[in-house]
Amino acid sequence: MIRLGLGGCLFVLLVSSCACTTARQLAIYGDVPDFVLTAQTGQTVSRNDLEGKIWVADFIFTNCTGPCPRMSSQMHQVQEAVKNVLAVNLVSFTVDPARDTPEVLAAYARRFRADPARWLFLTGEQKILHTVQNGGFRMGAVDGSLSHSTHFVLVDRHSHIRGYYGSFEADTAAQLVADIRALAHEHP
């Protein structure tokens, strides 16, 4: 039988607690391309406006009856979970810019209780949205078909893509929040 003194017990506790709180290393999958789009508020938003912030992106359209409402509900969960973490934004890009005007996006945002200071719903030219979704995030085309990925994407302060998260996985929101907190502790 092994006997540990008080010092030995404290060491074991310290080592085990450190192992539990060690953040996983997040890879870099690519970079978000430059863009200039219009938010639900009517304001112009560019990639440069998000520099220095951690953000989560998804691709939706407002008259979707499939996965979009679920994804927006999950984004709301993330919004609530990180409301005390500074410099975190959520960004929902439309894949239906012909219908999803800033006014339509604003109504959709209210439906999901989006905080307009933190959660942007962006629309603009189809060509720019296509470049962002296909060329940057590598998640399909904005081509009028309304087909889109059901993944969330985590972006760091330098516009590096740091993670992809399936919206149909049970722990998506929890894993996103954990990884947002890990990025918040990385050196800017």
Tens digits of residue pLDDT in 33-65: 999 999 999 999 999 999 999 999 999 999 998
Is pLDDT above 60 for 187? Answer: yes
The tokens for 39 are 């938010």
For the chain, give every domain's residue range. Answer: 28-184
The tokens for 42 are 């009517």
Q: What is residue 120's predicted lDDT score, i.e. its pLDDT?
A: 98
Tens digits of residue pLDDT in 112-147: 999 999 999 999 999 999 898 887 887 766 666 666
Give the pairing of strands 160-166 and 30-31.
Answer: antiparallel
CB atoms within 10 A of CB 50: 20
Is pLDDT above 50 for 12? Answer: no
Architecture of domain 28-184: 3-Layer(aba) Sandwich (3.40)
